[in-house]
Amino acid sequence: MAYYWFKAFHIVGFVVWFAGLFYLVRLFIYHAEANQEPEPAKTILKNQYQIMEKRLYHIITIPGMIVTLAMAGGILYTNPDLFRETWLHFKLGFVGILLVYHHYCGRLMKQLAANECKWSGQQLRALNEAPTLLLVIIVMLAIFKNNLPTDITAWVIFGLVILMAASIQIYAKIRRRNKEKLLVQMNQINQNNPTDQIPQVQN
């Protein structure tokens, strides 16, 4: 019975961990793009995103990681034969990559707070897609184990994941271009209608 308790909370921790990572990098995107806003909106937004990032990282993402790893340890303790499984070795390898990603996000958070981050919003969007691939691979290894499918169905599913990630990037690019066009139009309107030419209302 202990094995099932460990497994249940391992899944809960895994979900919380990934939810935190997905939203954390999304906040990084908004934080980086806040530099394009005029003052005082720029300072207000950056301060707000910094608070949200710290709370998300320390209250949700890190606890999710700790629960995931602790419950995984419990699973292996109650079922040590799993150490002999090849699929588990691969899974642990991808979890190791995920841990590197997690700690790198913590480093980016500190750089954003110190105004030292060199990543653009577009680059951060690409970075935000990395956990998606890790999530798919880790879950498939956990479900199929040593019988990981390599047939056409598996490739179709993998292709759909790639297509979804590409669609998000394309959508973000289109939205950014539309925003730039809107700013250009607003600047043109302001140039054609300066405030000093607006007639004053007589009392």
The pLDDT, as a whole number, for residue 16 is: 97
71 close to 6: Cβ distance less than 8 angstroms: yes
- Whether pLDDT at 13 is above 50: yes
- Whether pLDDT at 48 is above 90: yes
Dihedral, 166, 21, 16, 97 alpha carbons, nearest 10: 90
Q: Cα(104)–Cα(68) distance, rounded to whole angstroms?
A: 18
**DSSP annotation string for 74-88:** HHHHH-GGGGG-HHH
How do residues 68-105 score in pLDDT, each as one tens digit? 999 999 999 999 999 999 999 999 999 999 999 999 99
| 10 carries a ligand binding annotation | yes
What does the mean pLDDT of the chain come to? 86
Query: Roughly how many angstroms between the first and final C-alpha of the chain, as a whole number?
Result: 82
| 89 carries a ligand binding annotation | no
Per-residue burial over 38-58, b if 16 or more Cβ lie within 10 Å, else e, is eeeeeeebbeebbeebeebbe
The pLDDT, as a whole number, for residue 172 is: 67
- pTM of the full structure: 0.77
* Residue 54 banded pLDDT, cuts 50, 70, 90: very high
The pLDDT, as a whole number, for residue 203 is: 46
The pLDDT, as a whole number, for residue 198 is: 46
* Residue 146 banded pLDDT, cuts 50, 70, 90: confident
Report how far apart, in Å, the C-alpha atoms of 85 and of each of 75, 104, 142, 143, 199 are: 14, 29, 11, 13, 80
